[in-house]
Each structure stands twice: as C-alpha cells, then as structure tokens.
Amino acid sequence: EDQVTQSPEALRLQEGESSSLNCSYTVSGLRGLFWYRQDPGKGPEFLFTLYSAGEEKEKERLKATLTKKESFLHITAPKPEDSATYLCAATQGGSEKLVFGKGTKLTVNP
C-alpha cells in the first residue's frame, strides 16, 4: 500500500534556529512529490513539486530536496510567520491520486 510518512509530528524552534522536516514515501514509480503549507482554519497552500531524485527547489527560507526514498524540507533561519503545518504528498505512476502524510506542525518562537 502506498504510504507517505512525515516526521517529526511536531517541532518547536527558536527564531533563527534552522532545521529539517522529513517525508518518507513508499510509492512505486513516483510521479511527483508535493509540499504544502497549512495554516489553522485554512486549506493547504502549494509550496513545491519535485519529480526526480536529486532535484531541489527553493523559496525564501524553504528548500525542498528529493531522494529515492524521502524528501526533506529544510527551513533556514525560520521566523514566527513560518509557523504552520507542513504537508507532504506523493503521486504514484499510473495513478492520479495524491497520498498525503499526516503533516509536521512547526512552531517558531520569537
């Protein structure tokens, strides 16, 4: 069964303290690996799509990377406004369904 597992479930950082969120997937024939951000009371907001191992994408303080078994979302010098739940999702080859992980709730304290 296709699975996407995110760790840790929750992460507390001090402002400026860099860290990484992990997303492990057991999707055969990965077509795409997605990262979304979700704020309380809102729907997820798209961040990145990665398609092949070795690919990297950056946006402001966020950088997403992809290997054959996992993806990392690196957060450099985070600010309180980066506090949110970060969701990872994957699409399998031959399927059009997105499988989501349960998310990592990030809290950045000033």
To the nearest whole angstrom, how small is the minimum distance from the Cβ of residue 86 to other proteins? Answer: 12
Does residue 58 bind other proteins (CB under 8 A)? no
Does residue 66 bind other proteins (CB under 8 A)? no
3-class SS of residue 93 = coil
* Of 59, 69, 79, 102, the one binding other proteins by CB under 8 A: 102
Rounded to whole angstroms, how far apart are CA atoms 67 and 53?
4
Does residue 41 bind other proteins (CB under 8 A)? yes
8 A C-beta contact, residue 66 and residue 57: no
* Half-sphere exposure at residue 43, Cβ-oriented, CA atoms within 13 angstroms: 1
Does residue 46 bind other proteins (CB under 8 A)? yes
Rounded to whole angstroms, how far apart are CA atoms 100 and 6?
9
Does residue 40 bind other proteins (CB under 8 A)? no
> Which residues of this chain interact with other proteins, rule CB under 8 A?
31-32, 34, 36, 41-46, 49, 51, 87, 89, 91-92, 95-103
